[in-house]
């Protein structure tokens, strides 16, 4: 019998179109992911092939998670179906045994589910060989790459989820319950993923993840390109145990279900049984039916409308799935409140805008699901329960019915937003933060979220009004949204074209909602008008009566239209739609320039194509800058009037000037001493060539005066520039002209370059041998050290800042003027900031410290001041004297989240460092760290800067990192350092795993952040450990002495390395090579750790393994025989079980496995090799081992 | 009041011609519309109840054009569809109240009185707080009639209301209808002849979208008087008779087959003339004996 039931299930399913629909969905997703350059699921990127084992593995794993709903739809229904069709009574009275019935149904569906999900593999396979695919990203066909994910995920996941859904579906026997359980599981899953940010809890959570995704990422997180392309994710270790654990759990669950399933018709019902009323005596009642007048007036219509609205509202918010999905979302949000805005494990204060980002970012999906689903359900409600024949025959216009439904949905949306606000407040309270800004919650949600939800509702109503089948309606809505999102992200990104789109915007504590409000309101209005038109059409097509066929309803609509229905609203809405659309178009495309992403690519490519030939044309260099900048924050405008002194430092005379401005900019005035003629004026590129009337002779200088104006006219398609804003302007020298062909403007992405017909870029920075580029720093090729002076004016209530010292401040009219002048030469690298600032002043020795901050952001100021003082102290003592008399930190809005060091001026985003909630005992003090890094740049960057070639960022970024590390270590102790370096190690290893081109040794790095920041920290900390802080700092200070404030040629990384090598003993020279010139990785491991007690002493015997490899740029490894001094350490545990080091010494390793015997005085608890993780090691967990035998 | 249906035709998109040139005149009182399943009864009733368009023809309620002035018709209409559902988690009282609001009973107090009276009339008062999802078929049907009576309709259309009711309920239901029908038009469709026989002052028989008979039930009986013959026989013998006679109906009666046949002339061979029942009229008309 099992066989018959099994085969019946198979045959039944194979006849259902849904089976193939699911298959095709999964197939197409993977097909597109492998075929298209624009779609990416999982791992393929850069050099990782689309059919690399890793890519297929991750994509399958991810699709399995999103496929939860499909799995639920397949596996949840087999038993439920029998009950739904009342077939169970027949089934249960046949001689079939319980196991045969359940197993037959289950395995039949399971096989179908496997078939459906195998679509993932076929999709990838076909996509990779389909004609027209970019074969550069396709590797050799590897059967194992497909087999492994099939075995690791498809089979076990479907089995586990299958049992769960099968059991739940059989017990609950409710269509919605079957879908809702998918949502619930998915949410639980998101919660697990969200909490995985903390690297320490990785392993435990990896086991808890039933999909095996976390376990997989845990195993593969440090995989290099080569490993991703060639290695199959092994079904061993963590992943294997994870699979085993969940298979066991599901088997137990399945067994419990099997035992508790009653093979009879009445039992098994978990829900409350319907009470069927017994028939009562028929008695004739004498109550006469009262005469009543039915009302038709407006007041009565309003009453009916309001009544219906409440009725529909209640029907939604009381529905179990609504409550379940909402609770899921809220629960997920609350689960996030423990680790808000974490940086290096340090949390930020949960200020309202952060919470809002979190709320809308994570809850949006839930909102959209709820709204699209229930908007559809409301439209179909009467038809669904088959009461429509009664309600349709009631003398109430369609408009009342449907606008009441619309009103109910809007009320539901407001209700959900209220829940969201409450959730946010609870999240803030959980974190002990009580500065609730309800107004910001309300404004932000009403401005950003609500209009979008309304538009979704209107569209969903329209779609459901047009179709004749609810499921078709739901499907079209989903397809529409996916299409809208995917297409809007692609070629044509004009917000006027994609339903519901409006410019993105963000709230800043400094600038509030800023200038974003107006354009968003216009776009919302525009779309609302279209929404109303759609809604009206839907209304005319409404499903009243028994004839639902589209044709009949369309006929009816024409009659209604002829009868004058909608003749008021539709033309008005249409007019307003066109007028507002025209107004927006005028703003985005006439007042501003709109270009599609493709066009931008073309322009970028053309710059190189047209002008690269001018790369070596000799140009003068800027020697002095004097700027007058008048800023009008309220109008978001500024006028620049400036003078450059440019000097010919070449050996030949120069007859023409090449000037770059931002795209579409022109000089409003230009005066060049001696006169000039315009030769080329390419406004689109902002590229100009002027022939000098009198050539500039070698060694000569000339003055060049120009005027420029910047300002926002109307509003652009995207949110628009965030540099000049009402409060918190931050602009830099990029607004002023630069000289000569600018290589930095070239297109960088190789795929884009290929599309544009440009050759691949082999180097992301010039090769280090390119001695011509040693004449430039990587900050710019048109200047060396310059003299700088600026007069900045702004509104009376704002303070304007630029590098230099304040010479004079005055008021003129309602404007405030500041005159700044720098007393020593600086790079051609300056900025202007203006806002309504509070100022904190302090002093360290003879250096003035000033922090310009937004009122309310006082949390971390002390740490910043402390960071400045400690860094000044450390650098003055160890490197060289600070070149300025002042350090200023200036807050700017969180439109960007970085801090940047300009001469004596450090703009610092409000998003990082100003709202950090630092627990000094355990947390890394982010404000202190970032401050220290930026102040360090006053030396590393502003005293010396590397040449415009590979490796130069090492002398700037890595050294700022080293400075911050040393200052932090002095301030917070080495245990904080360990924690910090652990993050750096993790980020470095992940960074190299995500490399899209090639990893280089630090000495040759091409501005790669994971190398110059993260590896920089690790390398310099290890070097300091080997040669000592004093020796390393001696190298630094001698390097500075020889290179600081010197003109070209500028130093390259090997120059700096020379100073390091000079301070390194011969025995450690190979360490320097490993750290700086190679990509060296260790795999250190403690194989055995034993201890014996001898009197008061303990003898620890260790068998330590040391494997050392060199990696090439894509991660191919070469084994080396170690010849290194590596830490060996022993810990003892205190009463609370906390380990502390009692022994740490460097031992020489020259074999793969070595034994050591160490005597310690206290009872050892743990011991091993490189316990502090100073060497780069992908598996840090096995470095030490617990000593068990004491 | 008089409802006048003239030349009404309707063909569905799938090609089924549901109504063929229907002409009927219906006055106050109970009007029985008799016909087998699929005869077009429901199509006709839905058209009168404004839920469906007609291809051609007209329906007038006195001067009111039913096919065009839908909203005005709905104001005086009470309709009980053949099949309907309810919101499962709503009680009878709530749903009746809900429908009363929709029909325009927006004044709370009078609405409440109305709802209670209707619940009493349909004997649902005791069960008024129970969820409709738990109602038996008969109770649901009674709820259906209760809602059709909201707001003193001038024309009440009830589509197969007695299906699923037990005999007591059915009687009570028909009594209620006939009481009401004194001053309004009540159109009752059914395929059960008994329903019509007892109560209706007017009736029509339709089949395959056509009106085959219209008139008073007594008139109908007169038409077949003396032409109905009856005979008891075994099952085996019935086959032969089917070939030789115009058989109106056969049914089992106490273990034998009771066969009714139509004949204008005297029949021998065990046939005896029988007093015609409305059922005989019905089957004769349906089976095309009476043209």
Q: A13-57 pLDDT, tens per residue?
A: 898 878 888 888 888 888 888 887 766 777 666 788 888 999 999
**Radius of gyration over alpha carbons of chain B, in Å?**
21
- Cα A399 to Cα A319, A535, A539, A557, A571, distances in angstroms: 25, 10, 7, 13, 17
pLDDT (tens digit, 9 = 90+) per residue, A477-501? 878 877 776 666 667 788 898 888 8
Q: A914 or A890, which is more confident?
A: A890
Closest partner residue to A547 among B53, B88, B111, by Cβ? B53
Based on DSSP, count helices (H) and strands (E) in chain A, helices before strands.
37, 28
Residue B104 to residue A396, Cβ atoms within 8 A? yes
Closest partner residue to A290 among B75, B113, B133, by Cβ? B113
Examine the pLDDT at A81 and tell me if it is beyond 50: yes
For chain B, say whether A562 makes contact (Cβ under 8 Å): no
**Residue A303, min C-alpha distance to chain B (Å):** 7
Could you tell me the strand order of the sheet in which A847-853 lies?
Answer: A838-844, A847-853, A886-892, A905-909
For chain B, say whether A294 makes contact (Cβ under 8 Å): yes
Average pLDDT, integer, range A169-198:
71
Distance between first and last Cα of chain A: 61
The top-scoring range by mean pLDDT among A192-196, A262-266, A595-599 is: A595-599
User: What pLDDT is attached to residue B43?
Assistant: 93
For chain A, say whether B86 makes contact (Cβ under 8 Å): yes
CB atoms within 10 A of CB A628: 17
For chain A, say whether B161 makes contact (Cβ under 8 Å): no
Examine the pLDDT at A94 and tell me if it is beyond 80: no
Q: For residue B100, what is the nearest residue in chain A, using CA coordinates?
A: A294
* List of E strands, A513-666: 621-632, 637-647, 654-660
Give the confidence band of A195 by pLDDT, cuts at 50, 70, 90: low
For chain B, say whether A287 makes contact (Cβ under 8 Å): yes
User: What pLDDT is attached to residue A282?
Assistant: 44
Average pLDDT, integer, range A791-808:
96
Closest to A412 measured CA to CA, from A369, A475, A352: A369
User: What pLDDT is attached to residue A891?
Assistant: 97
User: What pLDDT is attached to residue B236?
Assistant: 78
Examine the pLDDT at A273 and tell me if it is beyond 50: no
Examine the pLDDT at A264 and tell me if it is beyond 80: no
For chain B, say whether A439 makes contact (Cβ under 8 Å): no
The overall average pLDDT reported for chain B is 87
Q: A196 or A652, which is more confident?
A: A652
The overall average pLDDT reported for chain A is 89
User: What pLDDT is attached to residue A490?
Assistant: 64
User: What pLDDT is attached to residue A206?
Assistant: 77
Closest partner residue to B74 among A275, A318, A394, by Cβ? A394
Residue A296 to residue B75, Cβ atoms within 8 A? yes
CB atoms within 10 A of CB A521: 14
How many residues does this entry show for chain B? 291
Interface of A with B in 339-398 (CB under 8 A): 385-387, 389-397
User: What pLDDT is attached to residue B19?
Assistant: 94
Average pLDDT, integer, range B160-172:
80
pLDDT (tens digit, 9 = 90+) per residue, A605-644? 999 999 999 999 999 999 999 999 999 999 999 999 999 9
For chain A, say whether B77 makes contact (Cβ under 8 Å): yes
Give the confidence band of B195 by pLDDT, cuts at 50, 70, 90: confident
User: What pLDDT is attached to residue A271?
Assistant: 46
Residue A546 to residue B46, Cβ atoms within 8 A? yes
pLDDT (tens digit, 9 = 90+) per residue, A1121-1149? 999 999 999 999 888 878 888 999 999 99
Q: A328 or B98, which is more confident?
A: B98
Residue B130 to residue A300, Cβ atoms within 8 A? no
The answer to whether ipTM exceeds 0.95 is no
Give the confidence band of A276 by pLDDT, cuts at 50, 70, 90: very low
Question: Under a CB-based contact definition with an 8 Å cutoff, are residues A180 and A321 in contact?
Answer: yes
Give the confidence band of A1033 by pLDDT, cuts at 50, 70, 90: very high
Which residues in A lie closer than 8 A to residue B151 (C-beta atoms)? 292, 294
**What is the rounded CA–CA span in Å between residue A1157 and residue B144?**
93
**Percent of all residues in chain B with a pLDDT value above 70, rounded to a whole number:** 99
Name which of A318, A395, A397 to mutate to probe chain B: the one with the most chain B Cβ atoms within 10 A of its Cβ.
A395
Q: 3-state DSSP helix/strand/coil percent for chain B, to nearest 5?
A: 35, 30, 35
Give the confidence band of A341 by pLDDT, cuts at 50, 70, 90: low
Give the confidence band of A179 by pLDDT, cuts at 50, 70, 90: low
**Residue B21, min C-alpha distance to chain A (Å):** 20
For chain A, say whether B176 makes contact (Cβ under 8 Å): no
User: What pLDDT is attached to residue B83?
Assistant: 87
For chain A, say whether B11 makes contact (Cβ under 8 Å): no
Which residues in B lie closer than 8 A to residue A551 (C-beta atoms)? 13
Give the confidence band of A550 by pLDDT, cuts at 50, 70, 90: confident
User: What pLDDT is attached to residue A1181?
Assistant: 84
Question: Under a CB-based contact definition with an 8 Å cutoff, are residues B178 and B153 in contact?
Answer: no
For chain A, say whether B28 makes contact (Cβ under 8 Å): no
- Cα A181 to Cα A172, A205, A882, B78, B196, distances in angstroms: 10, 21, 63, 43, 52
Residue B79 to residue A390, Cβ atoms within 8 A? yes
User: What pLDDT is attached to residue A280?
Assistant: 45
**What is the rounded CA–CA span in Å between residue A859 and residue A212?**
41
Which residues in A lie closer than 8 A to residue B172 (C-beta atoms)? 282, 284
- Cα A1022 to Cα A698, A965, A1025, distances in angstroms: 48, 12, 5
Give the confidence band of A323 by pLDDT, cuts at 50, 70, 90: confident
Give the confidence band of A509 by pLDDT, cuts at 50, 70, 90: very high
Q: B179 or A449, which is more confident?
A: A449
Residue B138 to residue A315, Cβ atoms within 8 A? no
Could you tell me the strand order of the sheet in which A621-632 lies?
Answer: A669-672, A701-711, A637-647, A621-632, A783-795, A815-821, A805-812
**Residue A308, min C-alpha distance to chain B (Å):** 8
Residue B75 to residue A395, Cβ atoms within 8 A? yes
For chain A, say whether B13 makes contact (Cβ under 8 Å): yes
């Amino acid at each position: 019998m099992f066989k018959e039931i099994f085969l019946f299930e198979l045959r039944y399913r194979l006849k259902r179109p849904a089976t193939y629909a699911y298959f095709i969905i999964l197939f197409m997703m993977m097909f597109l992911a492998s075929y298209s350059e624009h779609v990416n699921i999982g791992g393929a990127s850069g050099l990782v092939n689309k059919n690399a084992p890793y890519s297929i593995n991750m994509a399958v794993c991810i699709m399995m998670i999103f496929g939860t709903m499909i799995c639920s739809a397949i596996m949840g229904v087999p038993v439920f179906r029998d009950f739904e069709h009342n077939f169970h009574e027949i089934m249960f009275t046949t001689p079939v045994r319980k196991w045969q019935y359940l197993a037959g149904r289950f395995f039949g569906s399971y096989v179908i589910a496997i078939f459906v999900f195998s679509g993932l593999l076929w999709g990838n396979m076909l996509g990779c060989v389909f004609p027209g695919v970019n074969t550069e990203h396709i590797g050799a066909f590897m059967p194992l790459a497909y087999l492994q994910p099939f075995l690791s995920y498809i089979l076990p996941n479907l089995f586990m989820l299958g049992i769960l859904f099968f059991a739940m579906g059989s017990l609950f026997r409710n269509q919605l319950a079957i879908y809702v359980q998918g949502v619930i599981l998915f949410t639980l899953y998101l919660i697990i993923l969200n909490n995985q940010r903390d690297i320490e809890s990785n392993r435990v959570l990896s086991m808890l993840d039933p999909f095996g995704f976390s376990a997989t990422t845990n195993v593969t997180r440090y995989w290099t390109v080569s490993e991703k392309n060639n290695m199959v994710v092994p079904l061993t270790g963590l992943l294997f145990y994870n699979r085993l654990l969940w298979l066991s759990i599901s088997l137990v669950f399945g067994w419990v279900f099997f035992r508790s399933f009653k093979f009879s018709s009445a039992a098994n019902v978990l829900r409350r049984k319907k009470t069927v009323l017994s028939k009562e005596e028929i008695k004739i009642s004498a109550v006469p039916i009262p005469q009543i007048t039915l009302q038709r007036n407006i007041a009565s219509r309003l009453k009916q409308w309001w009544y219906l609205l409440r009725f529909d509202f209640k029907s939604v918010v009381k529905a179990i799935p609504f409550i379940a999905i909402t609770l899921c979302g809220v629960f997920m949000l609350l689960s996030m409140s423990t680790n808000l805005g974490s940086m290096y494990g340090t949390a930020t204060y949960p200020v309202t805008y952060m919470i809002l980002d979190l709320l809308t970012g994570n809850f949006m999906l839930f909102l959209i699901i709820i709204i699209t689903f229930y908007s559809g359900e409301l439209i179909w409600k009467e038809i669904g329960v088959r009461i429509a024949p009664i309600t349709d025959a009631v003398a109430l216009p369609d408009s009342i019915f449907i606008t009441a439904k619309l009103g109910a949905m809007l009320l539901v949306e407001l209700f959900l937003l209220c829940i969201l606000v409450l959730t946010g407040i609870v999240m803030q309270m959980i974190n002990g933060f009580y500065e609730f800004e309800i107004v910001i919650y309300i404004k932000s949600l009403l401005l950003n979220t609500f209009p979008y939800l309304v538009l979704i509702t209107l569209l969903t109503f329209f779609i459901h009004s047009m179709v004749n089948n609810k499921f078709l309606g739901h499907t079209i809505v989903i397809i529409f949204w996916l299409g809208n999102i995917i297409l809007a992200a692609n070629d044509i990104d004009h917000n006027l074209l994609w339903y519901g789109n409006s410019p993105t915007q963000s709230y800043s504590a400094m600038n509030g909602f800023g200038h974003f409000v107006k354009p968003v309101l216009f776009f919302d209005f525009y779309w609302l008008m279209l929404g109303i038109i759609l809604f009206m059409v839907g209304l005319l097509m409404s499903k009243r009566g028994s004839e639902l066929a589209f044709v009949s309803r369309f006929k009816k609509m024409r009659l209604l239209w002829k009868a004058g229905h909608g003749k008021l609203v539709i033309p008005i809405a249409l007019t307003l739609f066109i007028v507002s659309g025209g107004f927006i178009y005028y703003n985005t495309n006439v007042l501003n320039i709109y270009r599609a992403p493709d066009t931008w690519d073309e322009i970028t490519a053309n710059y190189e194509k047209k002008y690269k030939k001018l790369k070596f044309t000799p140009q003068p260099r800027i020697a002095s800058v004097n700027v007058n900048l008048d800023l009008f924050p309220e109008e978001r405008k500024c006028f620049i009037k400036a003078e450059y002194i440019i000097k010919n430092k070449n050996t030949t005379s120069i007859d023409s000037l090449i000037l770059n401005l931002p795209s579409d900019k022109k000089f409003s005035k230009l005066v060049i001493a001696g006169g000039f003629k315009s030769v080329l004026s390419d406004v689109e590129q902002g590229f100009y060539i002027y022939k000098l009337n009198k050539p500039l002779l070698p060694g000569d200088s000339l003055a060049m005066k120009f005027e420029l104006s910047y300002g926002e006219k109307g509003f652009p398609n995207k949110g628009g520039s965030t540099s000049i804003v009402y409060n918190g302007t931050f602009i830099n020298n990029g607004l002023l002209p630069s000289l000569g062909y600018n290589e930095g403007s070239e297109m960088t992405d190789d795929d884009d370059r290929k599309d544009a017909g440009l050759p691949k870029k082999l180097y992301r920075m010039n090769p280090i041998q390119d001695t011509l580029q040693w004449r430039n720093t990587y900050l710019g090729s048109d200047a060396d050290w310059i003299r700088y002076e600026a007069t900045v004016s702004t509104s009376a209530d704002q303070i304007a800042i630029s590098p230099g010292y304040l010479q004079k401040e005055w008021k003129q009219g309602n404007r405030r003027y500041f005159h700044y002048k720098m007393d020593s030469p600086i790079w051609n690298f300056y900025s202007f900031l203006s806002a309504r600032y509070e100022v904190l002043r302090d002093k360290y020795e003879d250096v003035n410290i000033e922090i310009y901050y937004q009122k309310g952001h006082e949390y971390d100021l002390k740490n910043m001041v402390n960071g400045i003082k400690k860094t000044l102290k450390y650098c003055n003592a160890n490197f060289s004297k600070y070149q300025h008399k002042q350090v200023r930190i200036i807050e700017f809005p969180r439109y960007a989240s970085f801090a940047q060091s300009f001469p004596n001026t450090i703009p610092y985003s409000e998003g990082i460092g100003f709202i950090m909630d630092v627990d000094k005992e355990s947390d890394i003090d982010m404000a202190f760290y970032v401050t220290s890094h930026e102040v360090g740049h006053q030396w590393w960057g502003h005293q010396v800067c590397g040449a415009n070639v590979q490796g130069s960022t090492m002398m700037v970024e890595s050294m700022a990192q080293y400075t911050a590390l040393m200052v932090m270590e002095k301030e917070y102790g080495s245990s904080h350092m360990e924690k910090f370096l652990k993050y750096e190690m993790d980020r470095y290893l992940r960074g190299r795993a995500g490399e899209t081109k090639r990893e280089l040794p630090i000495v040759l790095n091409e501005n790669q952040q994971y190398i110059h920041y993260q590896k920089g920290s690790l390398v310099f900390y290890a070097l300091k450990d080997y040669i000592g802080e004093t020796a390393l700092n001696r190298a630094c200070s001698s390097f500075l002495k020889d290179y600081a404030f010197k003109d070209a040629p500028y130093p390259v990384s090997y120059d700096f390395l020379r100073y390091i090598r000079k301070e390194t003993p011969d025995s450690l020279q190979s360490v320097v090579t490993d750290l700086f010139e190679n990509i060296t990785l260790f795999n250190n491991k403690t194989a055995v750790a034993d201890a014996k007690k001898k009197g008061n002493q303990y003898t620890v015997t260790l068998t330590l393994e040391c494997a050392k490899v060199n990696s090439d740029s894509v991660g191919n490894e070469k084994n080396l025989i170690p010849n290194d001094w590596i830490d060996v350490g022993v810990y003892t545990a205190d009463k609370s079980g906390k380990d502390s080091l009692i022994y740490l010494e460097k031992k020489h390793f020259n074999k793969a496995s070595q034994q050591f015997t160490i005597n310690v005085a206290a009872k050892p608890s743990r011991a091993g090799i490189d316990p502090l993780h100073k060497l780069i090691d992908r598996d840090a967990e096995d470095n030490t081992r617990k000593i068990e035998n004491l | 009041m008089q409802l006048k249906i003239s030349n009404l035709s309707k063909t569905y998109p799938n090609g089924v011609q549901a109504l063929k040139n229907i002409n009927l005149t219906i006055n106050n009182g109970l009007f029985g519309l008799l016909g087998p399943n699929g005869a077009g009864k429901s199509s006709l009733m839905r058209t009168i109840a404004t839920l469906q368009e007609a291809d051609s023809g007209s329906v007038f309620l006195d001067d009111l054009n039913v096919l065009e002035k839908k909203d005005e018709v709905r104001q005086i209409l009470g309709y009980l569809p053949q099949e309907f559902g309810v919101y499962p988690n709503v009680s009878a009282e709530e749903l009746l109240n809900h429908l009363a609001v929709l029909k325009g009973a927006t004044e709370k107090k009078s609405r409440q009185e109305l709802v209670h009276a209707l619940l009493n009339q349909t004997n649902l008062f005791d069960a008024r707080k129970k969820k409709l999802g738990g109602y038996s078929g008969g109770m649901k049907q009674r709820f259906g009639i209760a809602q059709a009576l909201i707001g003193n309709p001038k024309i009440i259309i009830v589509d197969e209301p007695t299906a699923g009711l037990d005999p007591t309920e059915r009687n009570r239901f028909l009594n209620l209808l006939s009481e009401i029908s004194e001053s309004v038009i009540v159109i009752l469709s059914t395929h059960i002849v008994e329903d019509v026989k007892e109560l209706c002052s007017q009736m029509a028989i339709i089949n395959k979208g056509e009106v085959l008979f219209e008139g008073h039930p007594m008139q109908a009986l007169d038409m077949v008087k003396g032409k109905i013959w009856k005979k008891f026989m075994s099952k085996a013998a019935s086959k032969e008779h089917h070939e030789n006679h115009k058989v109106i109906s056969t049914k089992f009666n106490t273990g034998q087959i009771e066969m009714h046949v139509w004949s204008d002339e005297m029949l021998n061979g065990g046939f005896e003339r029988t007093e015609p029942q409305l059922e005989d009229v019905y089957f004769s008309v349906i089976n095309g004996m009476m043209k």
